[in-house]
Amino acid sequence: MKTAVTMMIGMLCIAACQSKSSKNQVFIDGIYVNHTKGEYAVADDTLIFTHTDVNHYSITRNTGYQAIRDGRLLPKKHQVEKLEGNYDEKSGVLNETTTGRVFRFDPDEHVLLLKQAVYRKLN
């Protein structure tokens, strides 16, 4: 009897871990935005994640930023990056393959975390 209970508890733990991982993976596809303002610049960052294969994603990063000099905003500049990443089911994070960025997703809070930056999911 104790063996059966122990096995059931173990199976429930495994199922819970897998469901969290799959919940994260279902959440990843979409558009995430972040607005940052500091003493020297203002930036708007958009990340677009597209599921391409099993645990593989293409990532498009659009950044618009304006430097601040002598209290004035300079003309806006734009930058576009095309990246790729792989979702790690064990750790629940997406690892970007070129620069090594680590994307963490929180479906309950509807956000993506990249270092200290918090991106809100739009869709």
pTM of the full structure? 0.79
Classify residue 123 as exposed, middle or buried by CB count within 10 Å of its CB (0-12, 13-18, 19+): exposed
- Per-residue pLDDT tens for 103-112? 999 999 999 9
The secondary element (H helix, E strand) that includes residue 51 is: strand 41-53
- Per-residue pLDDT tens for 5-63? 444 444 444 444 444 556 677 899 999 999 999 999 999 999 999 999 989 999 999 99
